[in-house]
Amino acid sequence: MSVIVGQPERIRVLLAHHRPRYGEVLFRVLVMIASLTVIAVIAGLIAVIGVQSLKGIAHNGPGFLTGTVWDPVHQVFGALPFIYGTLLTAVTALALAMLIGVGVALFLVDMAPPRLARPIGFMVELLAAIPSVVYGLWGIFVLAPWLRDFVEVPLHDTLGWLPFFSGTPIGIGNLAAVVVLTIMVLPTVAAVSRDVIAAVPLSQREAALALGATRWEMIRIGVLPYARSGVMGAGILGLARGVGETMAVTMVIGNAPTISLSFFSQGYTMASVIANEFSEATTELYRSSLMEIGLLLLIVTLVTNAVARLLVWRVAYGSRAGTLLA
Amino acid sequence: MSTLAVLPAGRIPGRDMRRRRATDRLMRGLLGLAALLAAVPLVLVLGFVLIQGLPALNLALITQSPVPAGFPGGGVAPAVVGTLIMVGLGTLIGTPIAVLAGIYTREYAGGRGATAIRFLVDVLAGVPTIAIGLFAYGLIVVPSGGFSGLAGGVALAITIVPIVARITDEMLGLVPGSIREAAYALGIPPWKAIVHVVLPAAAAGIVTGILLGVARIAGETAPLIFTALGNDTVSTSLGQPMDALPLRIWVYASGPYDSWHAEAWAASLVLVLLVLAFSLLTRLVMRQRSRSGM
Amino acid sequence: MTTMIRESSSIAPAVEPEPPSPSRGIVPGQRAAATIEREAVQVELDGLGASYGRHVVLRDITFTARPNSVTAIIGPSGCGKSTLIRCLNRMHEVTPGARVAGEVRLGGTSIYGSDIDPVVIRQRIGMVFQRPNPFPTMSIFDNVVAGLKLAGIRDRALLDEVVERSLRRAALWDEVRDKLKAPGGALSGGQQQRLCIARAIAVEPEVILMDEPASSLDPVSTLKIEELIDSLRMSYTIVIVTHNMQQASRISDRTAFLTVGDDGAGYLVEFGDTATIFTNPRQRLTEDYISGRFG
């Protein structure tokens, strides 16, 4: 059996000839610049918005955070109504989204057969894909009237003496905003919770079952304690999402800077006031004050996101495209 | 997670067991209710968009410009054109940066560097898009003296970067190490190995991620409110205000005219169909790849 | 066994096809009589050690793989055979935290010199892996010339020539000559491995390293690979890691036996002519391993 002999020298000479090394350096520089761009954008966000709000900060002082009057005409800028509105809607929506979201996650991971789990999981993911403005449109013309007629009026008639249900219900208002926000935050909470719960080792579940636990008890003893910090992270992520949500809330909350305990009252959130008033802002101080609200919003979401990611990171850094939609 | 069999509990005395079983049934019912509550809104929203939007959906809607307020007829052509242009621009600017950043994270960065970049990408993903709009406003609109399609495109680019970067990172991670080894062992320079061997192997997944990102930014309103501003006429000039579908839906939904409302529903239908199509496509490709073991 | 066609452009006298011999491999010394087609270089290991972080996996390995010969590395699992061979083409250092001690010389020059580019080393010292790993997105043709194309060589005529030559040498030409455009993954396991060998050969290395190249293949493919290795020695220096002792005794000229020491690191127990190692080893440990008393 003989062997073909060719012209190795020719190949080796060619290989030696085609050997400039600047390609490697160039590429490394390129990818590093790209990564630095991400850092630069985050830094730039804080810097640009911060600089733009300086005028407002100087003029409004610390009273900005506690002032309840928002009167651009007279150059009085108090942001408390918006802070209140954001907190009220986001926290309430989060509470509801956690209840439903963790429930869905548990259902999908520990209860549903795969044939049921896949479509339901997909449907929840799809909720995250619908644009915010479409939720707003639906909220104005479908949800708000329905809420008014079937929820708010009955509640007002029966429990109207409670501060939560006082005032004339017109559909548009805090409650509508809470419902819409819950729907939009739900996919985030559900998807991350699902990852976290699925990451609980089988051994934990089996240990509980081996003790003779019912399915619910297994979840209670073997799954939830283990997933606690991760689920908390999911909640904080959902909170961050709810705080930053703009369009749908703007379209159904009524956009009135009032502070009220009532769910029927119209309200205003930080994101909404920026969305509504920025393009119309006539004076630089007005714009700068709105930027100041934007800065506050940015810092709050950055911090909550960072904290949430740190919590969730350890438990489930998964390879799921689903979490991208969240 | 497979359903695990529950051991027969006949050993445990009666009353306690009955209570536990009742609790179990109750909680499981509640969990099922949660699943229902989660799935129902989707049907409601999509259903109404379909019902309300379909009657008003016609070719004129997409090809004609708006007529004076309150009059019937006209369309949202400026919005359609504007969305195409700005989404295109945003994707064009954002995707290369995102893919390169993803390559850096997965192929070059050390353990700590990679974790840091991944963390920052996730943080950027969580920034409210209205803040990104404010950033683009300060960055471009203020120095250039006016609202523009360019500013809108840049805002959308910033929005798409974390989505594509994260998925590039993950898709590259799915490429088997043996492929990289084979390339290095041949004496191929690392960067060529990545660009010509590893990247093509991950290409399908990355393209899917880009489609996902496109679907997302196509539906974004907040970054465009004070960057592109909106326009009642079809404009292809990046230096002028530009309209977009989400912007127009917002304006029309908030307005008093029924014709506007109808057009808003129709435009929403278009947007939702686009997003749905891309999401389904993504899912299909994802499932195919995981099945083929890649 | 296929008889390969002799190319007229060969620069050395052609070798007569050897008759098939049932006793093949039992007396390794006989093969040295065949004519060398091309002068290969030798690979010297001098006090080679390797570690991952603080965990030392190899300690003080010294032997020489002679030109135009097959040197086998055998030993129980965990003794560091794979790490050893990956130090020879600087693949070990690709892993984060990996470190190398001692020296490896290719034709007298250290491959770990500060001015040496690992990329160049890998063009001169090729590698074939345990599991065939053709590039999934490339055709058979592109797979074979991947090392050349990606280095910038574009001459179509030359590439065609290299493809045919490499595939012939790898004993795969007849089976794929009509489907060069088919994807690299569309072949059987044994064919894929020969494709990987062709790919490694195409960049004209001087040394070919093989990390258990036949262990994931069926017996028939394994035999084909072994015959291939036997023929390749005419043009290359071959170092092969194998856990299959019979294989080592069949195809190699010299053998290195490694095992795990008490400190958890692999070390060289014995090195010598294959015939001696397998029939009359010097070390007790070697004899125990050969006769299957451990590992």
Chain C touching partners, 3 or more CB pairs below 8 A? A, B
Q: Please give the residue that has the higher pLDDT: either A250 or A205.
A: A250
**pLDDT for the residue numbered B291:** 54
**Cα C212 to Cα A48: distance, rounded to the nearest angstrom:** 59
* Structural domain span for residue A250: 55-325
All domains of chain C in start order, with CATH? 41-132+207-290 (3.40.50.300)
Q: Is residue A241 part of a domain?
A: yes
Chain B CB contacts of A137 under 8 Å are: 49, 249, 253, 264-265, 268
Is residue C273 within a helix (H) or strand (E), and if so which, with residue range? strand C266-273
Q: Which residue does chain C place closest to A19, by CA atoms?
A: C151
Read off the pLDDT of residues A131-168 as tens digits, 9 standing for 90 and up.
999 999 999 999 999 999 998 888 888 888 888 888 88
- For B112-179, the DSSP string reads HHHHHHHHHHHHHHTS-HHHHHHHHIIIIIHHHTS--HHHHHHHHHHHHHHHHHHHHHHHHHHS-HHH
Is A38 within 8 Å of B276 when comparing Cβ atoms?
A: no
Read off the pLDDT of residues C238-279 as tens digits, 9 standing for 90 and up.
999 998 888 999 999 999 999 998 888 999 999 999 999 999
- C280 by Cβ neighbours in 10 Å (0-12 / 13-18 / 19+) ranks as exposed
The region, left, alpha or beta by phi > 0 then psi within -120 to 50, assigned to residue A222 is alpha
Is B100 within 8 Å of A240 when comparing Cβ atoms?
A: no
The minimum CA-CA distance between B193 and chain C, rounded to whole Å, is 8
Amino acid in the structure at residue B241: P
Contact C48, C110 (CB under 8 A): no
Contact C91, B184 (CB under 8 A): yes
**pLDDT for the residue numbered C25:** 40
Q: Please give the residue that has the higher pLDDT: either A62 or C10.
A: A62
Tell me the ipTM for this assembly.
0.88
Please check the confidence at residue C88 and state whether its pLDDT lies above 90: yes
Q: Is residue A263 part of a domain?
A: yes
**pLDDT for the residue numbered C30:** 43
Is C3 within 8 Å of A1 when comparing Cβ atoms?
A: yes
Q: Please give the residue that has the higher pLDDT: either A119 or C30.
A: A119
What six digits make up the tokens of C116? 């040496």
Least confident piece of the model among A72-81, A199-208, B278-287, C227-236: B278-287
Q: Which residue does chain B place closest to C91, by CA atoms?
A: B185
What six digits make up the tokens of A39? 């850092």
Chain A touching partners, 3 or more CB pairs below 8 A? B, C
Read off the pLDDT of residues C166-177 as tens digits, 9 standing for 90 and up.
999 898 999 999
Is A1 within 8 Å of C38 when comparing Cβ atoms?
A: no
Please give, one letter per residue, the 3-state secondary structure of C199-262: HHHHCCCCEEEEECCCCCCCHHHHHHHHHHHHHHCCCCEEEEECCCHHHHHHHCCEEEEEEECC
Is C147 within 8 Å of B179 when comparing Cβ atoms?
A: no
- Looking at residues B136-144, what average pLDDT do you find? 94
For A:231-270, CB contacts with B below 8 A are 237, 240-241, 243-247, 251
* Burial A192-206, CB ≥16 within 10 A → b, else e: bbbbbbbbbeeebbe
* Chain C contact residues (CB < 8 Å to B): 89, 91, 94, 96, 119-124, 126-127, 129, 131, 133-137, 146-147, 150-151, 196, 199-200, 203
Chain C CB contacts of A12 under 8 Å are: 204
Read off the CATH number of the domain in which A205 is found: 1.10.3720.10
**pLDDT for the residue numbered C165:** 92
Read off the pLDDT of residues A165-209 as tens digits, 9 standing for 90 and up.
888 888 899 999 999 999 999 999 999 899 888 888 888 888 888
Best mutation target, C3, C5, C10, to test chain A (most A CBs within 10 A): C10
Q: Is residue A48 part of a domain?
A: no
Q: Is residue A171 part of a domain?
A: yes
Residue B189 touches chain C, beta carbons under 8 Å: yes
Residue B109 touches chain C, beta carbons under 8 Å: no
What end-to-end distance do the CA atoms of chain A give, in Å?
A: 63
Read off the pLDDT of residues A101-110 as tens digits, 9 standing for 90 and up.
999 999 998 8
pTM of the model: 0.85
Q: Is residue A194 part of a domain?
A: yes
**pLDDT for the residue numbered B4:** 43
Q: The domain at B79-244 falls in which architecture?
A: Orthogonal Bundle (1.10)
Read off the pLDDT of residues A28-62 as tens digits, 9 standing for 90 and up.
999 999 999 999 999 999 999 999 999 999 998 88
Q: Is residue A42 part of a domain?
A: no
Please check the confidence at residue A323 and state whether its pLDDT lies above 50: no
Residue A269's pLDDT band, with cuts at 50, 70 and 90, is: very high
Read off the pLDDT of residues C153-196 as tens digits, 9 standing for 90 and up.
888 999 999 999 999 989 899 999 999 999 988 899 899 999 99
Is residue C49 within a helix (H) or strand (E), and if so which, with residue range? strand C43-52
- Looking at residues B242-247, what average pLDDT do you find? 94
Please check the confidence at residue B72 and state whether its pLDDT lies above 90: no
Q: Over pLDDT 70: what percentage of chain C? A: 87
Please check the confidence at residue A72 and state whether its pLDDT lies above 50: yes
Q: Over pLDDT 70: what percentage of chain B? A: 93
Chain C CB contacts of A21 under 8 Å are: 117
Please check the confidence at residue C19 and state whether its pLDDT lies above 90: no
Mean per-residue pLDDT of chain C: 84
Chain A CB contacts of B279 under 8 Å are: 125-126, 129, 325
Is A11 within 8 Å of C17 when comparing Cβ atoms?
A: no
Q: A299, A273, A296, A297: which is closest to A286 by C-alpha?
A: A273
CB-hemisphere CA count at 13 Å for A71? Answer: 7
Choose from A14-28, A304-318, C17-31, C37-51 the range with maximum mean pLDDT. C37-51
C-alpha C197 chain-centroid distance: 9
Chain B CB contacts of C133 under 8 Å are: 176, 178-179, 181-182
Q: B49, A3, A267, B92: which is closest to C40 by C-alpha?
A: A3
Q: Please give the residue that has the higher pLDDT: either C38 or A222.
A: A222
**pLDDT for the residue numbered B155:** 97
What six digits make up the tokens of A232? 């908390």
- Looking at residues A236-240, what average pLDDT do you find? 90
Q: Which residue does chain C place closest to B178, by CA atoms?
A: C133
Is B215 within 8 Å of A31 when comparing Cβ atoms?
A: no
Q: Is residue A25 part of a domain?
A: no
Mean per-residue pLDDT of chain A: 87
Mean per-residue pLDDT of chain B: 88
What six digits make up the tokens of C79? 């003794």
Is A11 within 8 Å of C231 when comparing Cβ atoms?
A: no
Q: Which residue does chain C place closest to B176, by CA atoms?
A: C133
Q: Over pLDDT 90: what percentage of chain B? A: 60
The minimum CA-CA distance between A3 and chain B, rounded to whole Å, is 22
Q: Which residue does chain A place closest to C19, by CA atoms?
A: A1
Is residue C127 within a helix (H) or strand (E), and if so which, with residue range? strand C125-128
How many residues belong to chain A?
A: 326
Q: Over pLDDT 70: what percentage of chain A? A: 93
* Residue C70 DSSP SS3: strand
The minimum CA-CA distance between C237 and chain A, rounded to whole Å, is 14
- Looking at residues B216-228, what average pLDDT do you find? 94
Q: C185, C242, C195: which is closest to C215 by C-alpha?
A: C242
Please check the confidence at residue C102 and state whether its pLDDT lies above 70: yes
Residue C10's pLDDT band, with cuts at 50, 70 and 90, is: very low
Residue C21's pLDDT band, with cuts at 50, 70 and 90, is: very low
**pLDDT for the residue numbered A229:** 83
CB-hemisphere CA count at 13 Å for B235? Answer: 19
